[in-house]
Amino acid sequence: MKSGVVFSISLLGVATGVKGAATTTFPQASGETALPTPLVVSGSFDGGMKRYNRNPDTCQDQTETNEAAAMFIVEDGGSISNVVIGKAQGEGIHCRGACTLRNVWWEDVCEDAATFKQAAGKTSYVIGGGARGADDKIFQFNGRGTVSIKDFYAEDYGKVIRTCGDCTGNGGPRHVIIDGVIAKDGGPLCGINTNYGDTCRISNSCQDDGKSCDRYTGVVKGNGSSKKIGTGPDGSSCFVTNLTETCSGGVGSPTTTARTTTARTSTTTSARSTTTSASSGGTVPLYGQCGGNGYNGPATCAQGTCRFSNEWYSQCVL
């Protein structure tokens, strides 16, 4: 870790009574990239907060497509961070195996934001970021194992995550962990198939109507449709701790701005604090990264100010 200015940044836009670090303000894209085919990621990919779209557009609304319509395809063990995904794509991100999606933002979900296809015993992670405009679910969980969603923001959506209701070779168990999530203007946080042993554990989160789990009977593709059999925690498949209906903030709500100085700078807004170290040398271009956990680059903006987005990303904006 390079020495330099240390910022203690308080988080705004966090649900009252919720300990998560979700931010409710979508970031400004630092640039534009349009690709004719999916970008295949093996290893780690950092998008630098550029907006990614497909050209031509592959979105067909809720028509079921496949990974060929995705923006990114992530191989087993891969990760994507600091990306804005625009609306001109159909399937967002397809994770062929376990993956980590950190600080990824979907501006307008088409069919799904991401699809998880890892094998049993593996875990995929969604850390930070957010999505809006999903007519159905945001995340589709087709594989096995576990998907962990932490400090994520959802707005105008059907479900945050759904374990597959009628996949080919459908089964389980699939496990979902949701912590520190803020969800507004949408449905339950998860939909699971209890007959396959699926579970959903929700903690320290907010859904503005108190919707936690929908429970279903899953089926193998071609054997009818998945049926909803219940809703809410049941003590065996859906577990809820500290779920509130009081969600503060929203898209466009104010965010904390960290000003670069040669001394320790601290904001006083009440919420959970994080610490970021940054190098004092050089400057950051407009819409570039200027802070965040693990960031070691310069913190001085050539234009504008360094605005906090979430604990992993701050950005130079006007």
In this predicted model, what pLDDT tens digit does every residue of 106-140 receive, in sequence order? 999 999 999 999 999 999 999 999 999 999 999 99
The whole-number average pLDDT for the span 3-16 is 32
**Together in a domain, 41 and 154:** yes
**Together in a domain, 143 and 67:** yes
**Together in a domain, 189 and 216:** yes
In a domain, 271, yes or no: yes
Q: Is the pLDDT of residue 271 over 90?
A: no
Q: How far apart are CA 257 and CA 316, in angstroms?
A: 10
Domain boundary among 223, 244, 265: 244
In a domain, 159, yes or no: yes
Q: How far apart are CA 81 and CA 312, in angstroms?
A: 9
Q: Is the pLDDT of residue 74 over 60?
A: yes
Q: Is the pLDDT of residue 5 over 70?
A: no
Enumerate residues 6+ apart whose C-beta is below 8 A from 17: 242, 244, 246
Q: Is the pLDDT of residue 256 over 50?
A: no
Q: Is the pLDDT of residue 268 over 80?
A: no
In a domain, 10, yes or no: no
Look at residue 195 and give its three-state secondary structure: helix
SS3 content of the chain, % helix, strand, coil (to 5): 0, 45, 55
In a domain, 225, yes or no: yes
Provide the domain limits for residue 62.
Answer: 17-244
SS (H, E, C) 72-84: EEECCCEEEEEEE
Q: Is the pLDDT of residue 81 over 90?
A: yes
Could you tell me which of 20, 11, 36, 58 has the C-alpha nearest to residue 181? 20
Region label for 169, one of left (φ > 0), alpha (ψ between -120 and 50) or beta (otherwise): left
In this predicted model, what pLDDT tens digit does every residue of 273-285 receive, in sequence order? 333 445 557 998 8
Q: Do 54 and 33 touch, CB atoms closer than 8 A?
A: no
Query: How is residue 209 written in tokens?
Result: 């109507």
Round the average pLDDT of the chain to a whole number and report it: 85
Domain boundary among 198, 215, 244: 244
In a domain, 216, yes or no: yes
Q: What are phi and psi of 69, to 5 degrees?
A: -95, 0
Could you tell me which of 222, 158, 162, 236 has the C-alpha nearest to residue 194? 236
**Together in a domain, 167 and 275:** no
**Together in a domain, 22 and 60:** yes
**Model pTM score:** 0.81
- Report pLDDT for 243: 97
Whole-angstrom CA distances from 135 to 287, 301, 316 are 30, 38, 32
Could you tell me which of 252, 215, 216 has the C-alpha nearest to residue 231? 215
Place of tokens 């979700």: 22
The whole-number average pLDDT for the span 187-212 is 98
Between residues 288 and 204, the one the model is more confident about? 204
Tell me the β-bridge partners of 81: 46, 102
Domain boundary among 222, 244, 266: 244
**Together in a domain, 264 and 310:** yes
**Together in a domain, 81 and 195:** yes
In this predicted model, what pLDDT tens digit does every residue of 207-243 receive, in sequence order? 999 999 999 999 999 999 999 999 999 999 999 999 9
**Together in a domain, 161 and 60:** yes
- Report pLDDT for 278: 54
Between residues 36 and 297, the one the model is more confident about? 36
In a domain, 240, yes or no: yes
**Together in a domain, 238 and 257:** no
Whole-angstrom CA distances from 74 to 1, 25, 80, 150, 240 are 28, 26, 8, 19, 31
Q: Is the pLDDT of residue 95 over 60?
A: yes
In a domain, 292, yes or no: yes
Structural domain count, the chain = 2
CATH number at residue 133: 2.160.20.10
**Together in a domain, 29 and 152:** yes
**Together in a domain, 87 and 201:** yes
Q: Is the pLDDT of residue 10 over 90?
A: no
- Judged by average pLDDT, the poorest of 198-202, 243-247, 252-256 is 252-256
**Together in a domain, 202 and 154:** yes
In a domain, 4, yes or no: no
